[in-house]
Amino acid sequence: MANVIETRGLTKVYGQNGTAVRALNGIDLTVDRGEFVALVGPSGSGKSTLMAIIGCLDRPTDGTYALDGQEVQGLSGLELARIRNEKVGFVFQSYNLLPKATVSRNVELPMLYAGVGRKERRRRALELLEKVGIPEKADVLPAVLSGGQRQRVAIARALANRPSLLLADEPTGALDSKTGSEVLALFGELHAQGNTVLLVTHDPTVAARAHRRVEIRDGLIGSDHPTQAATDALAPSGEERAA
């Protein structure tokens, strides 16, 4: 199975000499296509720094990082921006929707940057809004949506360019427990459809919905193991056991 994420000896140092702070201390991480991984760790552990590098928002100080088979640590800012738009779909806690653009226009935005034609952008946006369960909201402004609906728009936008990686940073952090559970269920459905999902969270309940849990401690991988959700997914159904 092809790797979507592969890092080797990834380090990140902020500052210089006496003020230098090592945020990452040699991260080796591989995520295969189609995995659902939760990246967890306390504040200051390095998980946010690792997420930024994986999302091509920052560069490592040392080490290598290949995204979908392409090494990216040495790319220019413009090249990184192109990779981000084509290969990574971002979902943030704060949604980051354009308030004066309709829901459909928000979903279309990454496709606009990618040069997709107007009719195809509209067609794909409506298709994605159907996928996330809010097709009737295509022509309204984000201000009239609930928090859960806004996050569904953000997920649809993240999927617009058919990215290799869906990268979600605390996607339920601004939601109540019921709405957050519904959004996590949607991530589970997207994973079941073959999408590679990396979910960054400090919440163990959220992490438990993934199939693999990677914990960052002091800039290193402290643990990396399957979750109960992965075990349950592999367990035979009642009918299979009876057979």
- CATH code for the domain of 92: 3.40.50.300
- Domain hosting 203: range is 34-59+76-234
Would residue 11 count as lying in a domain?
A: no
User: Number of folded domains in the chain?
Assistant: 1
Would residue 8 count as lying in a domain?
A: no
Tens of pLDDT, residue by residue over 210-222, are 999 999 999 999 9
Would residue 207 count as lying in a domain?
A: yes
- Among 81-85, 146-150, 157-161, 232-236, the minimum mean pLDDT is found in 232-236
Tens of pLDDT, residue by residue over 60-81, are 999 999 999 999 988 999 999 9
Structure tokens at 192: 């079941």
Q: Mean pLDDT, to the nearest integer, of 182-192?
A: 94
Q: What is the mean pLDDT of the chain?
A: 92
Would residue 184 count as lying in a domain?
A: yes
User: What is the β-pairing status of strands 36-40 and 197-201?
Assistant: parallel
Q: What does the radius of gyration of the chain's CA atoms come to, in whole angstroms?
A: 19
Would residue 149 count as lying in a domain?
A: yes
pLDDT at 46 over 90: yes
Tens of pLDDT, residue by residue over 127-150, are 999 999 999 999 999 999 999 999
Tens of pLDDT, residue by residue over 78-104, are 999 999 999 999 999 889 999 999 999
Would residue 80 count as lying in a domain?
A: yes
Would residue 155 count as lying in a domain?
A: yes
| Distance in angstroms (rounded) separating the CA atoms of residues 111 and 118 | 9
Would residue 113 count as lying in a domain?
A: yes
Inter-axis angle of helices 118-131 and 103-113, to 10 degrees? 120
